[in-house]
Structure formats: C-alpha cells, structure tokens
Amino acid sequence: MSSGIVAEHRSKILAPIIALERKPIDFQDQRASVDDLVSILKERAEWALYPKTWSERILQKIAELSEGDAGVAIQTLKNASHQAEREYKNRIDYEDVRKGWNSAKDLKKTYLLNKLTEHHRLLYGIVKKQKEVLFGKLWSLYLKEYQKIKLRPMAVRTYSIYTNKLIELGLIKAERPLVRGKVSLLKVAD
C-alpha cells in the first residue's frame, strides 16, 4: 500500500482525474447547497482517495469555498489531493485546499473566457490591465484596442450587453464609485 493520498489502484496519471470526475454533475447554472456539495465530495473522496487522507471538515471547507459550484468543488478536491501528494503528505490539509481552490478558480475563469467572443475577452483584458475602470472609459479604451487586433467594432448596445455578461458570469464586478451620476466602476472579480 502506498503512503500517498490517491488510492493505489487509481494512482496512474489519469486515474485520479477519472476517479474524481466519474459521474457528471448537472446543476444547470443552479447553485448547490453546501450540504449537497459535501455529499458529492464525500462520494468522490471515498471512491478515489485512501481512507483517513481527508476529513469531513476539509470537504466542508471546499464546499464553502466553492460557493455552490459543484465543478469548482470537485476540481478543488482533485487539485488539493494532488498538492498533498506532491508534498508527500499523508492527509489533505487546509493549505492544500487553498492552493487547490485558487487553481480551480483560475481554471473556471479560463474556461468561461474561452467560451466567449474575442470582444468579451478584449473587454475583460482591458479591465484586468487597468485594475479598475469606469464603464464609459472602458468603451473608449475598447475603441482604441479593437483596431490593434483587427476586430470589427461592436455597437454601443452590444458593448453594454457584453459588459453585463462579464458581470453576470462573475468575471468582473461593478461598483458604485463616489461620484455623481449613474456611473459604474468595473474591476476584475476575485
């Protein structure tokens, strides 16, 4: 028996991925409760990981961090188990979970951005580069940038729809700055 985290009969390179992702979860953009996520994670952990290499508290922490997203929760567990194995630990700890969650968040962000248009990605890139930008200023920066990458410009109405889509997906966030008028300050979401 190995001293690793992932069960020996599943410790080939791709086996942990298959083991932790063995059943598709489809919440159709609904958020799962923390209890539902813990239940899903427990099933995956019992099947893919050695006993006593994980705890209910660790699964609870992963479920809370995942904010109802089953995909992020499962990916976090997978990443945390790999992190613990890389460091030759006998158990997954909170530091492994933190690193696994950060990696899972980045993976989700990349996945979402790849599903969007070049215009969405350009808007996101501008906000990321600027750190924070007013809604109207983002439009003028977009008008300068789209020419550099030889895109056809979008209409103002489309700009508003695309920016709202980025907000809706949680890629950027809008805040009310301390200025007069109906103005939004855009920032990359954490």
pLDDT in tens, 108-120: 888 888 899 999 9
**What pLDDT sits at residue 29?**
52
Q: Does any domain span residue 36?
A: yes
The reported pTM is 0.63
Token code pair at residue 7 = 């069960």
Q: Which residues contact 31 (CB under 8 A, 6 or more apart)?
A: 67, 68, 69
In the chain, the N- to C-terminal Cα span, in Å, equals 40
User: For 17-74, what is each residue's pLDDT tens digit?
Assistant: 444 554 444 444 567 899 999 999 999 998 888 888 999 999 999 999 988 888 889 9
Same domain, 52 and 29: yes
Give the model's pLDDT for residue 185. Answer: 87
**Whether residue 19 is found in the same domain as residue 97:** yes
Domain boundary among 114, 142, 175: 114
Q: Check whether 93 has a pLDDT greater than 60.
A: yes
What is the pLDDT, as a whole number, of residue 11? 41
Last residue of a domain, one of 82, 114, 146: 114
Which pLDDT tens digit goes with each residue over 98-156?
999 888 888 888 888 889 999 999 999 999 999 999 998 999 999 999 888 888 888 88
* Residue 1 predicted with pLDDT over 50: no
DSSP class of residue 116 equals S
Tell me the pLDDT band of 180, cut-offs 50, 70 and 90: confident
Q: Residue 1 domain-assigned?
A: no
CATH code of 71's domain: 1.10.8.60
Q: Are 130 and 141 in contact (CB under 8 A)?
A: yes
Whether residue 102 is found in the same domain as residue 124: no
- Do 70 and 129 lie in a common domain? no
What is the SS3 string spanning 20-78? HCCCCCCCCCCCCCHHHHHHHHHHHHHHHECCCCCCHHHHHHHHHHCCCCHHHHHHHHH
Burial label, 79 (beta-carbon count in 10 A; 0-12, 13-18, 19+): buried
**Which amino acid belongs to residue 81?**
S
User: How far is residue 118's CA from residue 3's CA, in Å, rounded to a whole number?
Assistant: 46
Domain that includes residue 23, residue range: 8-114
